[in-house]
Amino acid sequence: MTAPALTNPFLDALGARTGIRIEFYDPDGSHYGFPTFPYRYAPDNLATRRQLRAEGLRPNGNDPVAQILWRHRKQVRTAHLYRRDLAAAKRHATPAQLAAIGKALQARRTCRHCGQLRDYYIPRSTGACLQCEPGGPR
């Protein structure tokens, strides 16, 4: 199976019609070394990690196949693009993992000094709840 074409027909036609070079449009990777698209002009078969996550998918260990570049406050920002057809469903935590996370979060709310379970996380800097903390309210 070959990879789908990494082009944008609108940007190709615009460049052919006007002769204007779009700054971050490099579908073959000759200028940036990696197929590159401007913000909001990536092909529909590619998605960022965030877009995949919103669809309940993950990159499945595959490397990015292209990138999006755009300018933001005098900086050039990058977002990597992954193929949607190679993405897999997100993994979900098992009941044992969820139980372990619950125990860990409960331990963060239990004071080491008085053993009370608090409604807030105990500050790690002192290791004591606000009542046992030196200089805290009594």
* 3-55 tens-digit pLDDT: 556 777 777 777 667 666 677 888 887 888 889 988 888 889 999 999 999 99
User: Which DSSP string do the residues of 80-107 spell out, in sequence order?
Assistant: EEEEGGG-EEPP---HHHHHHHHHHHHH
The answer to whether residues 56 and 74 belong to one domain is yes
Statement to judge: residues 77 and 133 lie in one domain: no
Question: Beta-carbon neighbour count of residue 52 at 10 Å?
Answer: 21
pLDDT digits (tens, 9 = 90+) for 58-117: 999 999 999 999 888 989 899 999 999 999 999 999 999 999 999 999 999 999 999 999
In a domain, 30, yes or no: yes
pLDDT at 2: 44
**77 plus 135 within the same structural domain:** no
Asked if residue 1 belongs to a domain, the reply is: no
pTM of the model: 0.65
Centre a 10 Å sphere on the Cβ of residue 128 and count the other Cβ atoms it contains. Answer: 16
Full domain range(s) for residue 121 = 93-138
CA atoms within 13 A on the CB side of 85: 8
Counting the structural domains of the chain, the total is 2
Query: 44 and 81 in one domain?
Result: yes
